[in-house]
A and B are shown apart, each in its own frame.
Chain A
Amino acid sequence: MSRRKRMMEDLDQDIRDFIERETQDNIERGMSPEDAHYAALRKFGNVARVKEDTWEVWSFVLLEQLWQDVRFGLRMVHKSPGFTAIATLTLALGIGANTAVFSVAYAVLLKPLPYNDPARLLRIYSADIRNGGGHWMSSPADIDFVRRKSTDFREITYYQEGGAVLTGIADPQQALTVTVSEDFFSTLGIPPAEGRTFLPEEHTPGRDQVVVLGDALRRQLFGSRAAVGQTITLDGKTRTVVGVMPAGFHFPRTEPPVQTDIWLPGSLPIDPANGNRDVAAIARLKPGVTLRQAQAELGAMHAAMERVYSNDADWRLRLVPLQQDIAGDARLPILIIFGAVSFVLLIACANVANLMLARGVARQREMALRTALGAGRVRLIRQLLTESVLLALMGGGVGLAIAVWGIRALRATATTAIPRLAEVQLSAPVLLFTLVSSLLVGLVFGLAPALPCSHLSLRGAPREALVSAGGFRRRTLNRFLLITQMALSLVLLIGAGLMVRSFLLLTSVKLGFQPDNVLTFATGLSGENYGSSVRRASFYQQTLERIRAVPGVDSVALASSLSLNGGIQVPARLDGQPAPPPGDEINVAYQAVTSDYFRAMRIPLLEGRFILPSDGKGAPSVVVVNQAFVRKFLPGMNPLGQRLYGGMGGEMRREVVGVVGDVREAGLAKEPIPEIYVPIFQAWVSPFMAYVVRTRVEPLSVAPSIRRAILEVDKSQPIAQVQTMEQIVFGASAPPRFRTELLSLFSLLALILTAVGLYGVTAYLVSQRTHEIGVRIALGASPAGILRLVLKESAVQIGAGILLGLAGAMALARVVSTLLFTIKPTDPATFLFVSSLMLAVGLLACYLPARRAMHVDPMVALRYE
């Protein structure tokens, strides 16, 4: 710009110079000085024109016009603050919601994992192709075989998660550990921040008393002192810290607050006969090798693996990109919710487009005048588009504020529903998304009204009468937008309706126990002190006694696993039946419990008796079964006195002494399966037990006393996962609750936007027809007739929107089907209810302006002429 200014000043000087010279020439030719000057001026011509033409040489015409349009647009914005506020807010809601949801989608689905070249990282699963092909962990033998024979992987490694007690510090704590095989750290490609990772020889027994720490734990334990070379006590064993991983590295447990901070070198026994699938495996592809090729290689290797190991022929290794594996089950709900907010944005666009169309009528004269003054069609459209993009950018700006708030709310409510939650933030790619979507939105909702607006001639425009008659294209566009809006919001409402219904069904399932006033926590008894069952049993008995004595405690019991948390399954059969061949056993749920378990959980007794304190070691082996067990194994028989085999720690024949109600052990959505409860001291006494404490007071309030009671028994024994049973129940429904709440919120937003749009357009059309309605009333039409006239037109549109929406919902049914619990995605009740709701809201939105049409005063209406 400054260069242009300088050049223009030069030009002034140059022109003066030119004229002086020409005057001089003319004087030399014999003219009088005055004549000479005028002749020179005449010869030069229009100075202003020359300046203007030269100015244009230095200007960027498109940019200048854009700037003109922007300034004009800003003036329009300023001139109609009401319209601007409504349009901006509408768009801000749409763009804000989209930005917030995109930030989640980006963090979970798109953002590269924080490892070196993460695109080539894979998770390896074992799939049992005879039983549905679900993904399970792998056997170390399989992975070791692939590691030796495969040529497609640069690294392949496996790990096993566990827990250990960290002592030798002020407060003993239960810590998550992961035992890793060779190449674990090099597979992920992250070097340690201090020291080193494990040497190959450290993966052998005797040399494995080393540990790599995470940054957070290292800070907690050693502060600013050097960590490498220090020792820590894990499960009573002393280990030397050889390295520290950088802050933020927590693989495989990366979600706060549950994060891996202790890595141990594994010397897992590779036993060909060991078919256990209990390690997780990851691998890194060699450059240039695709997942498909690697999968094919594994397939080709399968035959060889069977010959080497006594492996089940039905198991196959499956590769999944690590990023996809971590996104896991959250992927589909996130995509669905992203689709839902896109619908909301489209509806918002349609609303603003309708507003612009209505305003376009008011601006028809302006446009016609501009056309008459020589503005081309393209130039007019460009001006209107600039205005709409300007509006969209303002909407985007306000939307960003909404998104900031929305992201905070999402992070607070998502809890366990989505992985990588900590990475959900307003990052540069998210901001770019907001900008691009704002621009696109401006073009989308701007283009619709801009096209008809530019088709004007000055001849028609000044005559107001033509405005209402000539609006045919406009009204067609209005109707099209309204029908689309209604269809979109109906699809959303049906989706949300299905989710809500499914969620209500899910949360009203019979748990089989009463979760109120129950505190739970876990212990892990490891180390030298608890090497034997007897030692562990003694610890358990002492702690149970002390906890029972804590004020406010009603009853306390131990269980091998907490309900809803998955549970343990073991093969079982009735006494007298032959043992089925391996692979054909019937699995039942298994709980080893102490005598008060049923009382603490309030699981009802149906027949016989509960487990008693006297059912200890040496007493006859007993078992309590659930109703599902009776239905499956003992139909029509008296279950009491029957004998069965089942349980952990060797085959043992047990007598059924009681039948209790069914409990959902594997999760809210999983029907109870046959289950056996065995007295804990008549079974293998696991080092990992859950305590269940029924309290007479607020459960969490007794937690400190219970912690003290445990420390009185063993001052180095921490407790972990302290939570109420209600929290566990709540947590079990967290992912479906999250998606149901979000989808409901967005569909409600869509409904409100649609209703507002419907109201606005109807009101506008009514006001356009005031004259016509006045004439009708003057000619004797009844108010009811007028109401019918207006409503009939709207009802046709609403009907069309609903039909289109129903068709859309049917088409999209498949998408949500896997997320629904017990109901079909074409659930007639939901479809009917939501359609009726839409119809009611739609008619109400039209009725309000239609009622105004009834009261049009014919005199006022006619006076418009």
Chain B
Amino acid sequence: MSTKEQRERIELLQGTLDLLILRTLLLGPAHGHAIAKAIEFNSADVLQVEQGSLYPALHRLIKRRWISVQEGTSENNRRAKFYRLTAKGRRQLVVETSKWDKLAGAIARILTPVEQEGKS
């Protein structure tokens, strides 16, 4: 199946999948399979996208009008659904990214001293 061991994979935090989908679509429209692949590939397979959550997440984003969906023809001439970032989604990505940066920074600040203590 996958190349990485099961225990090294990280379950995505609630809401981060939305951010990753938006980030992926920034590069251009893609179909569902490609989005999952891209997230896994770009995270060096650390982040495993569960299909169970990918589609509800995609539909949630459509409902919020951050992405749109359209019929398209893929590289091997097959009909497929393409998801595309909307202008609203683009703005939202900026917001979500800065939120994430803050969150990550805060968590890092909390965790760092403990690590230092352990090292010394």
Q: Mark B44-61, 1 if CB is under 8 A from A, else 0.
A: 000000111101100110
Question: Within the assembled complex, what's the spacing in Å between the Cα atoms of A13 and B80?
Answer: 8
Contact residues in B for A14 (Cβ distance below 8 Å) = 31-32, 55, 80-81
20 contacts between A and B (CB under 8 A): A10-B69, A11-B55, A13-B81, A14-B32, A17-B32, A18-B31, A18-B33, A18-B51, A21-B33, A42-B1, A44-B51, A45-B51, A45-B52, A50-B52, A50-B55, A50-B56, A53-B55, A54-B56, A57-B59, A58-B63
Known: A39-B1, A44-B51. A17 touches B80 (CB 8 A): yes
- Beta-carbon contact of B51 and A50 below 8 Å: yes
| Given A18-B33, A58-B59, A45-B50 contact (CB < 8 Å) | yes
> What residues on B are CB-neighbors of A53 within 8 Å?
52-53, 55-56
A46 at the interface (CB under 8 A from B): yes
A7 within 8 A of partner (CB) = yes
**Contact residues of A between 380 and 414, Cβ < 8 Å to B:** none
Closest-CB distance, A172 to chain B (whole angstroms): 78
Q: Which of B50, B56, B80: most chain A CB closer than 10 A?
A: B56
Check: B38 CB closer than 8 A to any chain A CB: no
Contact B1 A57 (CB under 8 A): no
Residues of B within 8 A of A21 (CB): 31, 33
Q: Taking the complex as formed, is B62 at the interface, i.e. its CB lies under 8 A from any CB of chain A?
A: yes
Report Cα–Cα, A644/B72, bound state, in Å.
115
Contact of A15 with B by CB under 8 A: yes
The answer to whether B1 and A15 touch across the interface, beta carbons within 8 angstroms, is: no
Q: Which of B17-73 contact A (CB under 8 A)?
A: 31-33, 36, 50-53, 55-56, 59-60, 62-63, 69
- A440-456 near B? 1/0 per residue, CB < 8 Å: 00000000000000000
Chain A residue at smallest Cβ distance from B34: A21
Instruction: From known contacts A10-B69, A57-B60, A58-B63, infer whether A43 and B1 are also in contact, taking CB-CB under 8 Å.
Output: yes
User: Does B80 contact A57, Cβ atoms closer than 8 Å?
Assistant: no
Judge if A793 is at the interface, Cβ distance under 8 Å: no
Known pairs A17-B33, A18-B33, A43-B1; A11 contacts B51 (CB<8 A): no
Contact A7 B81 (CB under 8 A): no
Tell whether, in the assembled complex, residue B80 and residue A56 are in contact, meaning their CB atoms are under 8 Å apart.
no
Return the contact of B55 from the options A22, A39, A42, A54 (Cβ within 8 A): A54
Q: In whole Å, how far is A9's beta carbon from the nearest beta carbon of chain B?
A: 11
Q: Do B59 and A54 have beta carbons less than 8 Å apart?
A: yes
State A39–B53 Cα separation when bound (angstroms): 18
Q: Nearest-CB distance from A8 to chain B (Å)? A: 9
CB distance from A649 to the nearest CB of B (A): 91
Residues in chain B near residue A49, CB distance under 8 A: 52
- Contact flag A11-B59 (CB < 8 Å), given A17-B33, A39-B1: yes
**CB-CB < 8 A to A13: which residues of B?**
81
Measured in the bound complex, the distance between the Cα atoms of B31 and A472 in whole Å is 63
Shortest distance between the CB of A14 and any CB in chain B (Å) = 5
State the interface size on chain B (CB cutoff 8 A): 19
CB distance from A260 to the nearest CB of B (A): 63
**B50 with A7: CB separation less than 8 A:** no
How many angstroms between the C-alpha atoms of A17 and B74 in the bound complex? Answer: 11
Query: Residues of B contacting A58 with CB < 8 Å?
Result: 59, 63
The docked-state distance in angstroms from the alpha carbon of A14 to that of B53 is 14
B69 CB → nearest A CB, Å: 7
- Chain A residues within an 8 Å CB radius of B33: 17-18, 21-22
Within the complex, what minimum Cβ distance (angstroms) separates B34 from chain A?
8
Number of residues of chain A lying within 8 A (CB) of chain B: 23
List of A residues within 8 angstroms of B1 by Cβ: 39, 42-43
Closest CB in chain A relative to B77 CB, distance in Å: 13
Closest to B2 in A: A43
Q: Which of chain B's residues have a CB closer than 8 A to the CB of A15?
A: 55
Which B residues are CB-close (under 8 A) to A54? 55-56, 59
With A50-B51, A58-B63 given, is the CB distance from A18 to B32 under 8 Å?
A: yes
Output the least CB separation between B76 and chain A (Å). 9
Q: How far is the CA of A652 from the CA of B50 in the complex (A)?
A: 115
Q: What's the least CB distance linking A783 to chain B, in Å?
A: 69
> Given A22-B33, A43-B1, A56 and B56 touching (CB < 8 A)?
yes
- Give CA–CA (A17, B79) in the complex, Å: 9
CB distance from B35 to the nearest CB of A (A): 10
Closest A residue to B78 by CB, please name it: A17
Which residues of the partner chain A approach B80 to less than 8 Å between Cβ atoms?
14, 17
Least Cβ–Cβ distance between B42 and chain A, in angstroms: 17
Smallest CB separation, A577 vs chain B (Å) = 98
A46 to B, closest residue via Cβ: B52
Could you tell me which residues of chain A, from 1 to 55, have a CB within 8 Å of some CB in chain B?
7, 10-11, 13-15, 17-18, 21-22, 39, 42-46, 49-50, 53-54
Which of A14, A39, A49 has the largest number of chain B CB atoms within 10 A? A14
CB distance from A314 to the nearest CB of B (A): 76
Provide the bound-state CA to CA distance between A56 and B1, in Å.
Answer: 30
Determine the distance from Cα of A46 to Cα of B50 in the docked complex, in whole angstroms. Answer: 11
Least CB distance, B36 to chain A, in whole angstroms: 8
Min Cβ gap A280→B in Å is 65
Query: Which residues of chain A from 48 to 89 have a CB within 8 Å of any chain B CB?
Result: 49-50, 53-54, 56-58
Complex contacts, A11 vs chain B, CB 8 Å: 55, 59
Instruction: Give Cα A21 to B78, complex, Å.
Output: 11
1/0 contact string of B1-27 vs chain A (CB within 8 Å): 100000000000000000000000000
**Residue from B51, B55, B78, B81 within 8 A of A43 (CB atoms):** B51
In the complex the two chains form, is A7's CB within 8 Å of B62's CB? yes
Shortest C-beta distance, A55 to chain B (Å), equals 9
How many angstroms from the CA of A230 to the CA of B32 in the assembled complex?
A: 86
> Apart from A15-B55, A17-B81, what are 8 other A-B pairs with CB-CB below 8 Å?
A14-B80, A17-B80, A18-B31, A22-B33, A45-B50, A50-B56, A54-B56, A57-B60
Indicate which residue in B50, B51, B52, B81 contacts A10 across the interface (CB closer than 8 Å).
Answer: B81
Closest 5 CB pairs of A and B: A21-B33, A53-B56, A57-B59, A18-B33, A44-B51
Beta-carbon nearest neighbor of B31 in chain A: A17
Give complex CA distance A332, B79 in Å: 77
Q: Would A7 and B55 count as touching, CB distance under 8 A? A: no
How far does the Cβ of B116 sit from chain A's closest Cβ, in whole Å?
40
A46 to B56, CA, bound (A): 13
Closest to A15 in B: B55
Q: With contacts A17-B32, A22-B33 known, is A7 near B51, CB below 8 A?
A: no
Most buried by A among B59, B69, B81: B59
Residue picked from A7, A11, A45, A46, most chain B C-beta under 10 Å: A11
Q: CB-nearest residue of chain B relative to A17?
A: B80
